[in-house]
Chain A
Amino acid sequence: MRFARASTSWTILRISLQERLVYRGDFALGTLIRFLPIITQVFLWGAVFSAVEAVSGSRRPVAGYTYQAMVGYYLLTMVSRAFSSMPGLASGVAREIREGTVKKYLVQPVDMLEFLLLTRVAHKLVYYVVAVGPFALVFWLCRGYLPGWPGPEVMAAYLASLLMAFLLGFFLEATIGMIGFWFLEVTSLLFVYMLLSFFCSGHMFPIDLLPGAWGQAVRLLPLQYLAYFPTAVMLGKVTGPDLARGLCAQFGWMLFFLIAARVTFHYGVRRYSGFGG
């Protein structure tokens, strides 16, 4: 029984891998193009730091970031996002519910969340294989902005936070998509999530830039673990007990959304009605 299940999972993963590899050219180009907005950020922050220097007469950090660290932050956020972003996941789940194709998971001995997770793992694996070239090129060109290789503990924490960012992103988006069992049309909800995620995850700017209550409020959200937290770990901004606390909190949020996704699916399916052949 267990073997049959593992064999099914392996088949799903293999098929998804092959499907993804068909578009490898598009993938590689897409990855390179996605670095373009960073160029704008590099110049924008260059201008900000030059103005700060002109006013204060010395090279002063902004919210604890030097110019190098700021550019390094944006570059490393690309890595975090490569793990945590789930393009088309929530909208895909919502569409399958709306159009009724979700019933294929109900009549076949395949668990929907497991199927989607394996498809996503395949998508990411192919992405990393293809994207490693463009990433290596850009990181080599920008090596002056990046911190040196960290110690083994920081590296292990970084890898753990990236892996958890992937799982958190997956279960969070899957849960949002499954709200479609109740509302059918979740496009506007997805837009709100995208907006919040863009601004509060640290994708657009490091969240330590936010002053006072704003900063505290954003730190209460799980979104920071999608982009900001792994990057901050790599940059050495979170260390010691804070690092352990952060990793535990990230794990907690991941577990929370894993359960939320399971519960939402469980009750959602009860509401679902499929018609036709």
Chain B
Amino acid sequence: MHTPLSYLRVFGTFLRNSLVRDMTFRANFLIDTISSTVWVFMNLGFYVLIFHYTPMLGAGTGWGKYEFFLFLATTLLINSLMRGLFLSNAVELSERIRTGTLDFLLVKPIDTQFLASLGRIEWSAIGPFACGLLLLAYALAQLGLVPGPATAALYVLYVLCGVAIYYSLMIAMASTSIWLGRNRALLDFWFYITNFSRYPMEIYRGPWGTPLRHFFTFLIPVFIAVNVPARVLVRPLELRAPADWLLPGFALLATAGSLVVSRWIFNRSLVSYRSASS
């Protein structure tokens, strides 16, 4: 009988094993961590450059330099959690389907999606994650904001919702490898889609921007993933008017919906899986 506790224990083993593996190739781990951190700093440089020319992203949106840094920190936290926990697993799942080694996961007495999603943890994502936390603290200090316990709890909750939404999209896309045979464009496609949510959703305006915003909010809810937690910090929730409840409420609904739909796609794809072995 599997209990949540036993899954937690297995996850602990994944964490330990991956750490042992990473520490076996220490130089590689160090280079990975440093290079992903340098990447973060170069991106930050680009945004500093942009704010050299403008005080705000979009007229009247309220996303000034440090507000946007809070947004960026949230993106960093969510993306590094995705990279650390799921990215290499999703890529490997696609490869396992092609080579037929998914068999080894199917025969294990544990939920296949759990095993396929979390089997390998990339500890080097800790570099960008730490950058995210530092940037968060720096931007909060610059804005003079001190989030209360309720705001902090809501922020963590919505960051986790963001991770869940991104994860659902990724696992659903990786599952399509079963039908396509191989999905080499998986990573590219995932990056290009989440690329849209690197900026506050308010910048998507006008005859093209509004439909795009609606598409990525309601159909593929990637905008929800970063925007809602970032807003929790920048504009602490004042749930007075019913309209204030809309987006945070919808975010919870979108998270649950994404998880259910991706679970369905994963299970549905497994039915079509034909092992590559004899």
Contacts and interface: CB of A to CB of B under 8 A. Distances in A.
Interface of B, secondary structure class, is helix
B157 interface: no
Given A40-B196, A55-B55, A205-B49, 4 more contacts: A37-B192, A55-B54, A195-B38, A204-B46
Interface string B39-77: 100100110011011111111110000000000000000
B57 A47 contact: yes
Nearest to A49: B54
Interface stretch (B158-166, B197-205, B258-266): B197-205
A195 B42 contact: yes
B195 interface: yes
Given A51-B55, A51-B59, A210 B49 contact: yes
A192 B202 CA distance: 34
B179 interface: no
Interface string A5-40: 000000000000000000000100110010011011
A62 B60 contact: no
Contacts of A195: 35, 38-39, 42
Nearest to A48: B54
A43 B203 contact: yes
A40 B199 contact: yes
Contacts of B58: 46-47, 50-51
A211 B57 contact: no
B189 interface: yes
Interface string A181-194: 00000011001100
A201 to B, nearest CB: 13
A54 B64 CA distance: 13
Interface residues on A, range: 20 to 34
Contacts of A29: 185
A43 B208 CA distance: 10
A188 B31 contact: yes
B204 A43 contact: yes
B188 interface: yes
A30 B185 contact: yes
Contact of A205 (B39, B46, B61): B46
A46 B189 contact: no
A199 B55 contact: no
Given A33-B188, A43-B209, A199-B45, A53 B52 contact: no
Interface in A191-215: 191-192, 195, 198-199, 204-205, 209-211
Interface in B152-196: 184-185, 188-189, 192-193, 195-196
A205 B57 CA distance: 16
A52 interface: yes
9 contacts: A26-B184, A43-B212, A44-B199, A44-B203, A47-B58, A48-B53, A51-B59, A195-B35, A204-B46
A109 B5 CA distance: 65
A47 B49 CA distance: 15
Contacts of A54: 56, 59-60
A36 B194 CA distance: 11
A106 interface: no
Contacts of A47: 57-59, 61, 199, 202-203
Contact of B53 (A36, A43, A62): A62
Contacts of B46: 199, 204-205
Given A30-B185, A199-B42, A199-B46, A50 B59 contact: yes
A63 interface: yes
A118 to B, nearest CB: 25
A46 B203 contact: yes
A37 B192 CA distance: 6
A52 B50 CA distance: 11
B185 A188 contact: no
A27 B65 CA distance: 39
Given A46-B203, A62-B53, A195-B38, A40 B195 contact: yes
Contacts of A26: 184-185
